[in-house]
Chains A and B, each alone.
Chain A
């Protein structure tokens, strides 16, 4: 992976500011685009609709195999509970499961 993200003089500041700029672009981008185009093709719309679930899933799934057995169990329990629970209770449940498993030395 080569070079790290640290810049000797400015630390993480340049990356943070670029990320802020990229984020602002998403906030105004849709407004600017919709003023120009009549409408987006339905299949592009479908792909864009899938963006949050697709991107965020890739941030969760790897933890199932890299985070240890206790973390994997907690994630699966939280996933099932997530059909009923709001985010904060879901988070607390997952946390309680992993802490419980670690307490009993699983």
Chain B
């Protein structure tokens, strides 16, 4: 790495600071809840190290706790992370100049804030250099692992989760993620429909199918609602193909 590359790396890593601050409590929460749901400390850490996608990790341990079939856990995690298909499609034009290995490893580190900052970086400087992209990714990855380890190790100190209100943290955390997408087209109808359908499906069909049923009905609704006049108004679909 040349001096400028190192400089770019640290610039990227520093840019990750707000994401680190908001993600680390959830990394620790993930570690604690994972152990609470029956994972060992090393399994919790393995999951953070290899999956590295907070919301889907939370979904995963929730389903681990409910003893759902393995394929359905993998599918659910895939479903929650599916948005990253759109992210990687959207930043393709900014990282086209990376080498194949740089793309393969760099994209492993892709997360919601990393995607958002990459778009902003491209807007501001015209191009995204690999050291910067790597710096942001590593800058968020390492604290996430440390937070998971701390949460998992100290999970034993947590007694009854409901007594200290831990049981509501997960649904409200997911709710905060839902709120984060409220600028999207059709957000309220999709949220309302998916919510109502999932509750009905929980009663009629049972867990965990209510997740897929509610989500699919919400997506079908979005596909059927009128399309925007020009389709560049969501953060994700604003990519101009090269």
Give the interface of A toward B (CB within 8 A).
1-6, 11-20, 22-31, 33-35, 38-39, 42-67, 71, 74-75, 78-79, 82-83, 86-88, 90-91, 94-95, 98-99, 102
Contact = CB atoms under 8 A, between A and B. Distances in A.
Contacts of A55: 79-80, 82, 194, 211, 215, 218
B220 to A, nearest CB: 7
Interface residues of A, dominant DSSP: helix
B50 A20 contact: yes
A75 B63 CA distance: 20
B241 A34 contact: yes
Nearest to B203: A65
Interface in B178-201: 178-182, 184-187, 190-191, 193-199
A95 B169 contact: yes
Nearest to A31: B88
Nearest to A65: B199
7 A-B pairs closest in CB distance: A54-B218, A30-B89, A50-B222, A20-B50, A30-B88, A61-B195, A58-B214
B223 A47 contact: yes
A56 to B, nearest CB: 5
Contacts, number: 299
B88 A29 contact: yes
B83 A51 contact: yes
A19 B195 contact: no
B51 A79 contact: no
Given A30-B85, A57-B190, A57-B214, A50 B78 contact: no
Interface in B28-72: 38-40, 43, 46-47, 50-53, 55-56, 59-60, 62-64, 67-70
A11 B44 CA distance: 12
A67 B168 contact: yes
Given A31-B107, A54-B190, A60-B174, A102 B202 contact: no
Contact of A31 (B92, B216, B220): B92
Interface residues of B, dominant DSSP: helix
B70 A29 contact: no
B231 interface: yes
A30 B22 CA distance: 26
B92 A3 contact: no
A52 B83 contact: yes
Nearest to A14: B70
A95 B51 contact: no
B78 A25 contact: yes
Contact of A102 (B73, B88, B165, B211): B165
Contact of B165 (A34, A82, A99): A99
Contact of A90 (B55, B172, B191, B220): B172
Contacts of A74: 168, 172
B190 A15 contact: no
A60 B227 contact: no
Contacts of A14: 70
Contact of B81 (A3, A23, A34, A39): A23
